Structure 1
Amino acid sequence: MKVLVPVKRVVDANVKVRVKADNTSVDTANLKMALNPFCEIAVEEAVRLKEAGSATEVVVVSIGNKAVQEQLRTALALGADRAIHIDTEEELAPVSIAKLLKAVQEKEQAQLVLFGKQSIDGDNNQTGQMFAALTDMPQATFASAIKVEGNSIQVAREIDGGMQTLSLPLPAVVTADLRLNEPRYASLPNIMKAKRKPLDVLTVADLGVTLKAHQTVVKVTPPAERKAGIMVASVAELVEKLKNEAKVI
């Protein structure tokens, strides 16, 4: 079974981002970049499936400029077998990303496509679902456990009422949630080996996909500064402020 794992380059979760002075986008100059945490969980799960004998090959794919190869090499160091870089300078909407990934899937014919449930920059939580719709593949989102059984896959997912278990025929699409696993650290020998693993570079034209603008960013602004809290002397004073100042009771 081949597993395809789309991954994304994002600003490191521990870095405080800044908005550009012209309010057009986030300023990523000189910021530490990283593999999206949910994508890292997806890579880890794919590698575990291979270690368990359920998968034979793990392929990672990312879309962006040449810088994304750093995160692809990270995924290779974590245990993926080879990588695909779709080279573009454009900032793409989720539907465009899904279309490009569909073209990759048509070439790779993976039995399982394993996404992180969302990226920590856009927080859209859309690409996996759009990809499943475009490819007409069954999907299970927010996976917290995965088990391959023959030509099907069982996925436990968290819902508002508790846990739901789905059985999907392969090929299928799964998006990984936070509690699916704890990603490993890449060892130095594996980091060195990753430099020699195959990394193919494709363009949008190579995939035969025509893209168009689906959205326009009007303005990007930082969130409003939170005001300092105040100390109250008694419960009665707290209730009075909640009722007359905050007007929440």
Structure 2
Amino acid sequence: MSSRRRRRAPLALRQAATSLLCLSAVLVSAPPAAGRTAVSPPLPAAPAPPAPAGMPEPPAAPVVREELAALTVAPPRSMSGYSRNRFPHWVTQHQQCDTREVVLARDGKDVVTDARCRASSGSWYSAYDGVTLAAASQVDIDHMVPLANAWRSGADGWDVAKRRTFANDLTNSQLIAVSAASNRAKGDQSPDQWKPRLTGYHCTYSRAWTHVKHLYGLSVTPQEKAELTKMLDTCA
């Protein structure tokens, strides 16, 4: 039997192929030439910082309308014996953080606090008047239902423990960070006497006010109830 042997490539051709392979390896692993910048793959975008938690959301308008209908309608009670000191407020919530500092941290953006829990920087948007505030000293913590309004709506008959809970309620829609100017313009007035300048906030405001009064069994005046009804009608 005869057999054929494979012909081997000429030596010169084999040497040329080997040289090309070596050159390719050098080019792949070599650093970029001087004056040229290596292109790195793009990094994934950093996640956006979380939005401020803000005041706890009150129930939806249909629920609040039922709560409003259940409230006692009565004239305001006497202010005799009232004092803000009857409502222990800004109590310590944890470590060195009092209620005010907790709300500032909750409602603000990029809030930095010091070792004593005081807000040293950040920004706060005031939903009452649309103002953005750059210093904690410009921010007031508003009681949605003011302490004096609560007093003449039934809180005059509460014990100190219930007044303390009311004045420091972080669970419900009772505390909100707003501009000092809007808070002081509001004072202890009910919605028939004062409303946020931003009409787009009237739905949330009326829901929060009514819900707090319902939770704590406080009364409303006829004028207050009528205005709350109108404000709830602005809810989409």
TM-score range, shorter chain: under 0.3
Q: Which has the larger radius of gyration?
A: 2
TM-score (norm. length: structure 2): 0.23
- Whichever structure has more helix as a proportion of its residues is 2
- Whichever structure has more strand as a proportion of its residues is 1
